Chain A
Amino acid sequence: MSWLSKIRDFLTRRETVISGGGPKAIEKQLAMGKLTARQRITAILDPDSFYEYDLFVEHRCADFGMDKKALAGDGVVTGTGTIMGYPVCIFAQDFTVAGGSLGLAHARKITKIMDHAMKLGIPLIGINDSGGARIQEGVNSLAGYGEIFYRNTLASGVIPQISVILGPCAGGAVYSPALTDFVFVVEGISKMFITGPEVIKTVLGEEISMEDLGGARVQTEISGNAHFYADSELECFEQIKKLVTFIPWNNRKKADPYPPKPPKPGHDVEKIIPSEPNRPYDVRDVVRAVCDDSDFFEVQKHWAANIVVGFARMHGQTIGVVANQPLVLAGVLDVDSSDKAARFIRFCDAFNIPLVTFVDLPGYLPGVDQEHAGVIRHGAKVLYSYSEATVPKITVILRKAYGGGYIAMCSRHLGADFVFAWPSAEIAVMGPEGAANIIFRAEIQGAPDPNAMRREKVAEYTEKFANPYIAAANGHIDAVILPAETRDFLIHAMEISAQKAESRPSKKHGVPPF
């Protein structure tokens, strides 16, 4: 073969693989409102930054006529590129090739790019769009999944792992995204479940649509399996790009600083909190009033909204924000909000992101359903993850910090480096009404006018205990600060904690209350 014909031969081979499942299958994919695997990668990565590998990988399956079937790239596209200049490893399952089904060669392309990401210390992005295991390959297909899960687990806490669900992701396949740090879903396109509607109908007789069982809304609002919800693939890609700018490449690095920016005008921290402790407000307004450019990037916005978690910047440095949300369920801790906070705290600690906690909660949510769902175990995750975290931990008590909730929300006692409290803070064992009713029960019941006596005793308790000064007198908080001073105190606390190096007793790993 001449030089030129070798080149031509190569170009033909490459063209064949890049055309994926062919024009008909691509047309079908687009008709479903979905982009193709390569279009997705190109849209997420910086222009012209994608380099593809393992184009000519082929499966070895000879059963069921598979030896006569060539599957372009074995149904998955893998490579490296950059997002906003940050290097990433990426793979995208190609639904146009045998429904994106996962065989051993397909899985080995994925594990290879995962191994790259680990060795190079850069984030991994996986785009899932697959009908599931390639049945013809039998147990080899299962082996492929297992090898992926194993690497997801080893990579956890070493490199950030992002999963993007852009099609079906069913059965065992969902466990890869579940093991990663952030799961992105898109309305009408993402479908995640362990057992699908068909199986549920035959086995259990329950009828449900794919969308209602495991669509994007269900996974973001009900199950909490997904972290980011978008109306379109393009909106989803913008969210991924934004996330990548907030997090470091790996656990040996810190997130890249950005040019510092003041909060946007119109965010007045003095005017957010109502004076009555039982009135609601949106705690995100407090975050926006103190963080750079008033830019707060919320994680799991739609699930367990009684706690708010997400990323922001303070004087250019990434912080992880955890805040009780009085707007929803009075900001209580419960099973779901504890889970949400604990997972986020562990991500931040693993990736050197300082934690800033804003506290305003009346305590834990009472209820039979909560107790039976194991709120003891789930609530303990918050204590565990805050105590375990060695990144700078800064706490601002805005208003209520009662009882067990006060301890859990990164109190001094769980190792907070700095605890600040606004003058509106009420740091006490419980709210004045509840406390007065218990402490002064006899006086109230024995009074000629019990209601008047109750009001008097509640006022007495409020005056004496519903403030930050008893905690301050005991050194449990470091400073009572004006709301307007919050940003300065936070920036200073972060700056002087920049070299913080706290060690923990040597162990293989802890045993958190999973």
Chain B
Amino acid sequence: MSDIDQIVVETAARLFADDVTPQLRNAAEAGSWPQALWEAVADLGLPEALVPEQAGGYGLDPLVALAVVRTAARFAVPLPLAETLWANRLLAAAGLSRPSGPVTFFAPATSAPSVDPLQITRSADGWRLVGHAPRVPWGAQADVVVVADSADGPMIARVPAGRATVTAGDNLAAEPRDDLAFDLVLPADSVAPAPRLALSLQEAGAALRAIQMAGALERVLELSVRYASERVQFGRPIGKFQAVQQNLAILAGQTAAAGGAADLAAEALAEDLDPLPIAIAKARTGEAASSACAIAHQVHGAIGFTHEHELHHFTRRLWAWRDEYGNDTHWNARVGAAVTAAGADGLWPLITAA
């Protein structure tokens, strides 16, 4: 990372450290949109961080933009930042205009057929979009990028916030996960043939969540080590007990593995969405999340089980994110399918190419 890149990440970290207070997170959980925080994030240009320079972006290294996503998760930033970065990337690739506010995207699950898949057809005054999009992150607050089948092949469209019929929902961390029903007409200039990047939405979502999980795990490790150093029982900090030290060493190992896996996902996301490293990353970070959250709560004892302590802002996100865009088993099976196709003697070449 160059000095400039480092400054981008550090500036974002400073903003999050100053502005993302427990009060702000709690208010967001209760349903209030943190407009001031969004404006501060937008002032830094972060929503456009993955837009290539030739499409009007800042020409930031995509890996730096994704390091910002990881940093945001390290502070449990209650905004659709990851979603906005990727949605704007897709809009830029399709040559569509980008809003100044938040944008999310809908990734149909690939493991089960959708009951009411999105369809888009030409109409007299533009394009008519119909269908159902379950569990869209911040689906009520943000513009939504969707990909829908049409007679001309898959099309990408941006639906302005407030146009869909919303059934509000959330995940374990009370992040909005809204069901959207579409039956509306979009102007012709908000629809375009889907670029190749937009055909792997579940992979993109999985890669983003893997990166976010790595960031949240870093904070879980920090909180746990700090608590073990401060909490005194039997006359000494509990971190002096070998049993606690051994568990924290496992937590560090899981965090390190998740970090390495997330780097694989970031590189794939920055390039051409190679599904294998993304599958590996999502499964590995999900597994790390399960192990790490259990240890972190054990180390924190009763105080970590309270809403008052901040640990849960990270562990509840990890418990939610590990199951979004395909759980560990889903992605492990994808990796396994690649191994089956490669065969026993192709296993090692597959590993060295991943």
Query: Is B one of A's binding partners?
Result: no
Residues of chain A whose beta carbon lies under 8 Å from any beta carbon of chain B: none
